[in-house]
Each structure stands twice: as structure tokens, then as C-alpha cells.
Amino acid sequence: MSFSAQVKREAARVFPERACCWRAELAALARVVGSLRLGAAPDALMITTENPAVARKIFKLSKCLGWNRSVAVRQCSRPRHYHLFVVQIPLRQGKLSLLQELGFADRKNRLKDYLDSRLLARNCCCRAFLRGCFLGSGYFSKPDHSYHLEFILNTAEGAGEVEAVLARFGLVPNRRERKGGFGVYLKEADQVGEFLRIIGASQAVLEFENSRIIKEMRNKINRLVNCETANLKKTVKTGLMQAEMIKQLAASVGLSSLRPPLRDLAELRLNHPDASLKELGRLLSPPVGKSGVNHRFRELRRIAQQLRSEEACPGKEVKLETDYEEHQREKNKK
């Protein structure tokens, strides 16, 4: 079972306590998957769903409100075999007008583009409204793949209502036009998790947060592995370049012509071409820190560059000691 189906099964079992919330949830279901049957006896609101748990929820809500209703089951074979549940609720419920009760019509029973604002006056009714919208046309992606919650609405007015109610809870939805309708969606993990809390799907919240933690840990491990791999590649590449430079020095002037500190480091690099600077420093006697090893390699590079200059300009003297060491030598003589 998909994560979206699991959330719908749990949300369908959440039953509000107040009659105002029953109307708000039914109005949401009517808005997203409802249609009017007019010209027949009797005129009726028809709410259609493939989910049996949602059909039971619609039937129970209308029963608690004391409304007449009936359920028809249709078998469909294309594009796949499935059952379609159609809950029919007559538009006249005694002296009451169903469209006025659900906020779709004014006192003169004229249809309105937007729901009556009194239907969503309370936060509890807004929660019920969002739950009904999700049960009717909501979709969740698998949380271990991506964070995506989307509602499919037939009209721009319906999409605007969903956006406004989501905004009341601090959520920031986006909208896009789809073929034959509009999509209102959330993409951020925090907002998707908060929506689950709003509609009362506590078990889904736990599963979502668990998947989120595992995904974040997996991403962190992947970043660390990628970083270590990049550092290792860089270390190996640098070591091979340094070993090649030392081989050129050995062929040109011989390692014996180098000062002992530089000669020891050069021999270690030839024996350990893939070692890091820190590891080379530990192998030296006495041990040297990473900065000291790096300084000695800078001196080796300077000597190698001078040798290349000598080859380009014959007769130029090659200096095999640093300016600092020459200064120290002169100072000791004084």
C-alpha cells in the first residue's frame, strides 16, 4: 500500500466532534469530487470516490447530520478494473437546502463561486476542510524519495480556498495549472509534516518523521563519503605528482645532493606515494607536523623549478638551500 493510501485510511478514521466540522468536511469532499444531478427526481449531490474508507466517511457524516443518502457501487473496467462508490445526497433535506448547509448557495439558493465564510470560521472546521480535500483529491509521494503533497482542484476558486485555509496554519502552498484543473502543492518537509498534524494523522506523522530522519542520515553519510573520496583522490594525485618531481630531481642532481631533511622526505614520498602529508610527517624522525612537511615540499618544488630554469638557460647556478637557511648560516658565522 502506498504512503498516500495509508494516510487516507488513517484520515478517514478521524471523526470530528462538532456538526460544523461535519459540514466543513463534507463541503470539501463535495468541492473536489462532487457533482450535481439536476433535472432528475430528486435533485442530488453526488460525491464519487474509489476509496471505500472515504465512501464510508461520507455516508457516516451525512448520517450524523440527519440527511437522507444512498450509496451506489459501479464496476469499471477501463483503464483498469476498480469499483467506484457514488454517495447520493438529495438537495432537499426536509425544510433545509443542502447547498445552503454546505455553503455553496446564498439564502435565495443561488450558487456562489466561493464557500460561505461562516463555514470556515473556526480552526477546527478548517482542519476538517483540509482533511476532506485530501481524502477527495490529495496525493502524497513516498517520503523516502521526495517531499510532495498535492491537491487537484477543478476550479481556480476551489484552489484559492485551499490556499487560503493552508495559509491560516502558516503553510505556504504553490499552485500550477494542470490539464483540466489546478494543482495546489507543498514541497518542504516541515510543511508536509505539519499538514499531517493538522488533519490528525498522528501515525502518518511518526512514519513520515522516521523516513525523514533516515533520509537525512543517508544524505549526510553520502556527503561525508563523497568528501572523503574527493580528499583521497586529491591526496593520491598530489602524492603522485610529488613522487614524479622527486624522480626528476634524482635524475638531475641526485637525492644525495639534497639536505638531510629534504632527502629524508623525498625518500619517504617515493616509498609512500599515496600517503598524506600528515602521515609522512609521522614517519619522519623526528616527527614533523603537516605544515612542516608542506614547507619542505615547497623547497623541493623550488629546487625543481630552478633545475628546469637551468636546463632552459645553461650556466645558471642552482641553489639547493632556502633563503632562510642561508640567513641562519650567515648569522651563525657572525
DSSP states of 241-305 as a string?
HHHHHHHHHHHHT-GGGS-HHHHHHHHHHHH-TT--HHHHHHHSSS---HHHHHHHHHHHHHHHH
- The answer, as to whether pTM is greater than 0.75, is no
Give residue 83's pLDDT: 83
**Same domain, yes or no: 31 and 89:** yes
**Same domain, yes or no: 264 and 157:** no
3-state SS string over 126-181?
Answer: HHHHHHHHHHHHEEECCCCCCCCEEEEECCHHHHHHHHHHHHHCCCCCEEEEECCE
Q: Per-residue pLDDT for the chain (334 aa), expressed as one digit of tens each?
A: 788 889 999 999 999 989 999 999 999 999 999 888 887 778 889 999 988 999 999 999 999 999 998 888 888 777 777 788 899 999 888 888 888 999 888 888 888 888 888 899 999 999 999 999 999 999 988 887 888 999 999 888 899 999 999 999 999 999 998 887 899 999 988 999 999 999 999 999 998 888 888 888 988 999 999 998 988 888 888 888 888 888 888 888 888 888 888 888 888 888 888 888 888 888 888 888 988 888 988 988 888 888 888 766 655 554 555 444 544 555 555 5
- Mark which of 174, 200, 226 sits at the end of a domain: 200
Number of domains in the chain: 2
DSSP letter for each residue of 188-255: -HHHHHHHHHHTT-HHHHHHHHHHHHHHHHHHHHHHHHHHHHHHHHHHHHHHHHHHHHHHHHHHHT-G
Q: Is position 209 within any domain?
A: no
Cis peptide, bond prior to residue 286, ω within 30 of zero: yes
**Same domain, yes or no: 128 and 261:** no
Write out the residue range of the structural domain in which residue 184 sits: 3-200
Q: Is position 44 within any domain?
A: yes
Give residue 25's pLDDT: 94
**CA atoms lying within 13 Å on the CB side of residue 240:** 5
**Same domain, yes or no: 40 and 170:** yes
Give residue 24's pLDDT: 93
Give residue 327's pLDDT: 44
Q: b or e along 157-172 (b: 16 or more beta carbons within 10 Å of the residue's beta carbon)?
A: ebbbbbbebbeeeebe
Q: Is position 206 within any domain?
A: no
Give residue 313's pLDDT: 63
Give residue 123's pLDDT: 93
Give residue 219's pLDDT: 87
CATH code for the domain of 72: 3.10.28.10
Q: Is position 208 within any domain?
A: no
Give residue 253's pLDDT: 81
- Mark which of 172, 200, 228 sits at the end of a domain: 200
Q: In 10 A of CB 79, how many CB atoms?
A: 6
